[in-house]
Amino acid sequence: MANKTIKVEGMTCGHCKSSVEGALNKLEGVNGAEVSLEDNQVSVDYQKDKVDDAAMVDAIEGQGYDVVK
């Protein structure tokens, strides 16, 4: 299992947190996602052989938030 921290702009509340975590947790290969509103980031535990960075970025951006690259 791997862990990745992704910087995300635009998350300000509990709904934002739930949206991003929910979108990531729906991806096959993601074992868990935890948003830190204070740090503007999400920590993702995932399986490298089942999900890639692009899929995670698409899931976040699909919720209306911007990934800082």
* Architecture per CATH, 2-62: 2-Layer Sandwich (3.30)
Q: How many helices (H) and strands (E) does the chain have?
A: 2, 4
Q: How distant is the alpha carbon of residue 21 from its chain centre? A: 6
* Mean pLDDT by groups of 10 residues along the chain of 69 residues: 97 97 98 98 98 98 96
pLDDT the model gives residue 69: 86
Does the pTM surpass 0.85? The reply is yes
User: Structural domain boundaries of the chain?
Assistant: 2-62
